[in-house]
Each structure stands twice: as C-alpha cells, then as structure tokens.
Amino acid sequence: MGVILRVRDRELSRTLAMKVMTSLTPALSHPMGEGARKAGEGKPTLDPASQLGLARFLEEAQVTAQLDHPGIVPVHEVGFDPQGQPYYTMKLVKGRDLNEIFKLARAGEGWSSGGKVSGRNAGAFSLSSPAGGEGGGEEDRAGSEVPSPRLSPHSSLAGRGSRTHCGAELKRGEGWNLPRAVGVLVKACQALAYAHSKGVIHRDLKPANIMVGRFGEVYVMDWGLAKITGKKDLHDIRPKDTPFTSASLHSPRLEAAESTPDSPLITMDGSVVGTPAYMAPEQARGEVEEVDQASDIYSLGGILYNLLTGQAPYVEPGARISPRTILGMVIQGPPKRVHQLNPAAPPELISICEKAMAREKRERYSSSADLAEDLQASIDRRVVKAYRTGAMAEFKSWVKRNKALTIAVTASVLFLYAGSVGFVIQQRRTNLEQRQTNARLRLQAYSADMRVAHVALNEGNRGAAIELVNKYTNVAGAADLRGFEWRYLWKLCQGQEQFTLAGHSNRVMAVAFSPDGQTLFSGGYDDTVRAWNLASRTSAPIRVNVGNIRRLAVSPTGDALIVGGGEGVAVRTGPSFAHEKRLPGAMGSLVLSPDGQTLVTYGTNAFLVWETTSWRLVRTLPHSKGDRSVAFEWKRPPFLQTHRFWPLV
C-alpha cells in the first residue's frame, strides 16, 4: 500500500518516519494547487479501487492514532504530499524486531553495537495494491507531519513492512536470554489487551510486527489490517482460491508470494494479509465474522512457538513453502508439538503456547491480559495457570523462586524438629519414670491399707475396715489393684444381706420405712420415689417434682410422705400419696420430729420450722454458711441441734 520514508522535521529538529501511499490511480490531482495539501481539502476524483485504498490508508492512520498506549507507535499527522499522495508521520523507532531478538535469545547473545538499517531500498519497492497495511509494520515509523518546508526526506526505511532497524547502537553485554525475550511478549500482550479493550483486532501479528527499541521499549507495529469491532470491515481477508494475478500488482515481493513461507498471502480483494503460519484457523478458513481477539491470541501463541522452536509454525528451517500451502496446513490441523522440536523447552511455556494456539477459540486464553499474566508468572517462577494450579503448585513455584530462603527455612525446621523430637523423647521417659514411681507407691499404700483393714476387723472396728476397703472401689483412671485379699476383706465387711431391691435408674440417696415396717420408701437421682412392698418385693413409683431426691421422711401415722430434693420440699398425702403440697422456700435437707408434729427444712438463710397439722411455717432459725443438717434431741422440751441448740418450746 505504500512505502515508509525517514524524514527530518527541521522546525523541531527530529527524525520521523513517514508512510506514503503510492497506489492511487490516477495520481491524486488536488485542486488546491502545489501548496500544503491536507486530507479532506478539495474533492479529488479517484477510481473505485483507489477510493477504497485511500479509505483503508486513512483508517489505518486513524486506528493507530487512537490507540494511545506506550506499546503502540503514535501517529502525529495525516496529509497529502506535493504529488497528491496521502501520507502520515510517526515516531521513528530504532531497534530490532522479534525475529532478531529471538535469535539472540536462543544464542544467549547480547546486543551488538553499530547496528545498520535493514530493509530494501525505497526505489526497489513498488506496490499498486490498495490493501491497507501490509505485513510490515510501524515499528520505526510513528508521528509525522504533513510534507512542508519543515520536513525533508532522508531515505526509505523499509521494504515490505516499512520497518527498519535504524541506528541500533546497542551496548555490549546487554545479553538476551529466554526470560528476557518472554518479557518482550508480555509487553506486546499488554499492548494488544489495550487495543482489544478499544474494540480493535490486529489480525496480522508475527515476529516482524513487534519491535524492541534500544532502551527496551516494545512496540506492536503495522495496524493496516486492523479490524474495528462493530464497524464495516474495509478488508476482505478471505484467501483467494487461485493465485492472484491482477495486473495492478507488480513487485518482487508479490512475485515471491507463492514461493516463500514468510511471503504475504493475497486475499479475495487483492490485499496482502501477513504470514499464514501465524494465522488462527478461523482466519485461515476465511471466517471473517469469527476473527476476534481470540485470533490475535492465537497469533501471539505462534510467536511464542517461534521463540521456543526457532521456526515459524508449520515451516521447517530453510524450507521453501508457498503461503497457500501453509494456509492449507493451518486449516488441516495443528503444527508439530513444541516438545518434538525442542525437548528442552520449559514445560510451563509449552503449556502457555499450546493453550494460546488451541484450535477452538473457547479453549484459548480469554484475553491477552490473561496470556500476559501467565507469561509473567513463568518469568517470576510463579504458578502458570495453563500448566498447573492449586496450593501445591503455588508452593513448588515459591520454592523455585526462593531457593536460598527455602534452604534456610528447611534447615531451621529440621533443627527445630530434631530438638522437638529430643524433648518429646525426654519428656516421655520422665513421664514413664514418674508413672512407674506413682504405681509403686500406690501399690505399697494398698498393701498397707489391706493390712490395717484386717487388723480393724479383728478389733471389731468394722466401719474403719469398710472405709479402707471402699477406698479401692472403682478408682477412675487408675489400675485396679484389688486381688484376693481385697475380696476376702470386702466379704468380711458385709452384713447379712437379705435381698436386693432393684428399680431405680440412678443412685439411691434416701430411704424411709412406713410405721408398720411393711413398706420401704426409696428415692434418688432419678427424681422418683418408689414404695416397696417388702413382702412381694414389688414397687410402685411416685413421681415428685423436686429434682434430685436427697431426704425422705414418713409421718408416725403413715399418712404423709415428706420428700426433700435439690429444687424444694414436697408433702405427699392421700391415697397412694397422690396429693402434693409444696413448702415454699424449703429445699434439700429435712428432719421430722419423733412425734411427727414438727418438720424442719433447710432454707436459704435459715432453717424453716413447720407445724405438720396444717403445714404452716411457725418459725425460722438463722444458720451459718456451713449449717446443712439438723437433728432433734428428744427431751422435755425438745431441742433442735446442728452445732448449736435451739429450744423449740
């Protein structure tokens, strides 16, 4: 579509790149004369092909100018030169494209000083096609001004991509390696992510269209084939079924289009559309509506493929394969696996490459930013999502990034572990010795208690013997020391047992006989009183709501049963003791006088004295904190005693 010239801005004393469209037919005749001509002035007459070419050229300039990003070369000005040809100026980028960078990275070389301008002479470059933006890019062009006395031509910058590597005066020792080259791709992905956010799809990404400046700047070049989402596409990028033979295109570049793998591909409308080796399958199939940011992501994956393998996808080094043949290979299936071509390639980068170049769009990265994140993660030795995920993968990546710290931490942990193990072993040994000592002392105490219990029984002190024997009954958490001697002494301590009454579901805490001795009342922690017929040894339950039962008393006449519990005192009377009367304020302990006329119960601050005929409170007797139990001393008059004496009359 045009050539790129290096021009000099005399007023600002700077060198710029200027892209000039040379394919207008006939040459543009501008009615404003030979003065400074600017886009839009006058109404030139052009044939349809030239009108379309001009529209594409201006769209390329507008798209590039509107992408305000450090990774995209800015456009300064658009206009017409004195011959009526449209142009726009850009910043002149001095550096190398990724083809050279990748070679340096693979060889482990640094920049060489005194780099020369590469590319064809402008005079040898001729292109009549109206296609906008060929494979070449804007790497060394950017910002320009309308031709005027302030601008003077220097030379042609580049042939096909209108890019050059001018004045690559790079310091020695600034070595390139794989991580550094991947870092360039990260910046390119970030620039593409910005363009995608603005609805612009590049559609012509390849190593030659990404350039690295002398100071590490990374530029995505040549937006001539860019597609603006939601806007009518001025390019028909579908490949032609037969080689293009239009008489309007004549140049060595186009003559080689069907013979070299890096040659451009001619599309349906006669445009040049980059290198098929980097095309996404949907773009290679001519599915125009399917080409979107996922297609650019595929191309970025193809560029990474080139870095890892040293060759473009589908292209063997030194092979001469026509672009149309490569196009068929792209449509047919994926290229050779990276691992086949370079077994030493990092597996993380292989996974990134394969994900970016997935045949199905839905299987690729969802955005260029995600691709950049994974590439950066591979540089930082963090977890690459396309390779591995999860806590273990994160930990392994952290270890790789922090080897010295990992060694120090591991040594510290091992030291602490060894110390902890030694401490635990010592503690266990000490505890074992302590347990053995305690067991020996307990056995000695048991033997002494059994001898003392035997002596107590011989002396008739049955109570002392029972206390010593019961000391070793159901001892929680301790070894059972009871042997023959304990069972022998326990048997001697027992009375003449008549029978056993079993019926309570919990401990029995209180019993009381009826006056005739035929009935035994029992109560305990199951909140139930049982009336036992001693002749038949059967019982009838009496449910009393006083909590855990602690005391029982039966009136001398046998018509009243007094029950004391943790939640109060109740008097049961009537047939089967079915009627219940609660004594307010009374709880727990109680005692009935021998004549049955007085009941004393425990209260919060005093003992409560009740008259049993009407169950009326007749007196309170203050008690101290430790007073819990009371008893009657049957004299005339009767006395109530705890550790003190109260006369009741």
**CA–CA separation, 633 vs 630, rounded Å?**
10
Close Cβ partners of 588 (under 8 Å, ≥ 6 residues apart): 550, 551, 564, 565, 566, 569, 601, 602, 628
pLDDT of residue 473: 81
Tell me, yes or no, whether 494 lies in a domain: no
Tell me, yes or no, whether 527 lies in a domain: yes
- Helix runs in 459-516, H state only: 462-470, 484-493
Nearest to 358 by CA among 334, 385, 329: 334
Same domain, 521 and 385: no
**CA–CA separation, 35 vs 56, rounded Å?**
25
Close Cβ partners of 346 (under 8 Å, ≥ 6 residues apart): 178, 378
Tell me, yes or no, whether 117 lies in a domain: yes
Give 331-385 pLDDT, tens digit per residue: 999 999 999 999 999 999 999 999 999 999 999 999 999 999 999 999 988 888 8
> Is 592 in a helix, a strand, or coil?
strand
Close Cβ partners of 586 (under 8 Å, ≥ 6 residues apart): 564, 568, 569, 601, 602, 603, 608, 610
**CA–CA separation, 161 vs 144, rounded Å?**
17
- Helix runs in 25-136, H state only: 48-66, 98-107
DSSP labels, 506-555: S-EEEEEE-TTSSEEEEEETTSEEEEEETTTTEEEEEE--SSSEEEEEE-
Amino acid making up residue 406: T
CATH, residue 242: 1.10.510.10
pLDDT of residue 168: 39
Tokens for 499, please give them: 């029978």
Of 400, 425, 449, which marks where a domain is finished? 400
The answer to whether 12 touches 158, Cβ cutoff 8 Å, is: no
Of 373, 400, 427, which marks where a domain is finished? 400
Q: Which residues are bridge partners to 19 per DSSP?
A: 4, 88
Residue indicated by tokens 């904190």: 625
pLDDT of residue 160: 38
pLDDT of residue 368: 95
Tell me, yes or no, whether 434 lies in a domain: no
The answer to whether 210 touches 238, Cβ cutoff 8 Å, is: no
Whole-Å CA distances, 354 to 168, 277, 381, 394: 33, 15, 19, 21
Q: How many domains does the chain have?
A: 2
Beta strand ranges found along 61-115 (DSSP E): 75-80, 86-91, 95-97
Pairing of strands 14-21, 86-91: antiparallel
The answer to whether 474 touches 500, Cβ cutoff 8 Å, is: no
Q: Which long-range contacts (CB under 8 A, 24 or more apart) does 324-329 make?
A: 324/239, 324/243, 324/258, 324/265, 324/276, 326/261, 326/275, 326/276, 326/277, 327/239, 327/265, 327/276, 327/279, 327/284
Tell me, yes or no, whether 406 lies in a domain: no
Task: Return the DSSP state at 272.
Answer: B
Backbone angles phi, psi at 22, to 5 degrees: -115, 10
| Alpha carbon of residue 21 to chain centroid | 52
Tell me, yes or no, whether 164 lies in a domain: yes
pLDDT of residue 148: 46
Close Cβ partners of 10 (under 8 Å, ≥ 6 residues apart): 149, 150, 151, 152
What's the predicted TM-score (pTM) here?
0.51
Nearest to 19 by CA among 117, 153, 180, 195: 153
Residue 516: CB atoms within 10 Å:
7
Same domain, 149 and 291: yes
Task: Return the DSSP state at 127.
Answer: -
pLDDT of residue 169: 36
Amino acid making up residue 249: L
**CA–CA separation, 405 vs 409, rounded Å?**
6
Burial of 263 (0-12, 13-18, 19+ CB in 10 A): buried
Residue 542: CB atoms within 10 Å:
18
Tokens for 305, please give them: 């493929």
Same domain, 290 and 159: yes
Same domain, 388 and 261: yes
Same domain, 137 and 284: yes
The parts of the chain modelled with pLDDT lower than 70 are 1, 23-46, 49, 109-174, 232-274, 388-398, 401, 495-498, 625-628, 634-649
Tokens for 484, please give them: 């023959």
Amino acid making up residue 642: T
272, HSE (Cβ side, Cα atoms, 13 Å): 31
Q: Please list the helix, strand and coil fractions of the chain in percent, rounded to the nearest 5, in that order.
A: 35, 20, 45
In b/e form, how buried is each residue of 565-587, taking b as 16+ CB within 10 angstroms?
A: beebbbbbeeeebeebeebebbb
For 466, left (φ over 0), alpha (ψ -120 to 50), or beta?
alpha
Task: Return the DSSP state at 129.
Answer: -
| Alpha carbon of residue 573 to chain centroid | 73
Same domain, 67 and 202: yes
**CA–CA separation, 56 vs 233, rounded Å?**
9
Tell me, yes or no, whether 496 lies in a domain: no
CATH, residue 629: 2.130.10.10
The answer to whether 270 touches 248, Cβ cutoff 8 Å, is: yes
Burial of 636 (0-12, 13-18, 19+ CB in 10 A): exposed
Pairing of strands 227-228, 508-513: unpaired
The residue segments making up the domain with residue 368 are 2-400
For 486, left (φ over 0), alpha (ψ -120 to 50), or beta?
alpha
Alpha-carbon torsion, ordered 249, 253, 256, 262, to 10 deg: -130
Give 50-85 pLDDT, tens digit per residue: 777 788 888 888 888 888 999 999 888 888 888 888
pLDDT of residue 135: 34
Of 365, 400, 435, which marks where a domain is finished? 400
Alpha-carbon torsion, ordered 318, 321, 327, 333, to 10 deg: -60
Pairing of strands 151-158, 2-9: antiparallel
DSSP labels, 184-231: HHHHHHHHHHHHHHTTEE-----GGGEEEETTS-EEE---TT-EETTS
> Is 150 in a helix, a strand, or coil?
coil
Q: What Rg value do the Cα atoms of the chain yield, rounded?
A: 52
Burial of 438 (0-12, 13-18, 19+ CB in 10 A): exposed
Residue indicated by tokens 């004369």: 33
Same domain, 374 and 235: yes
Tell me, yes or no, whether 488 lies in a domain: no
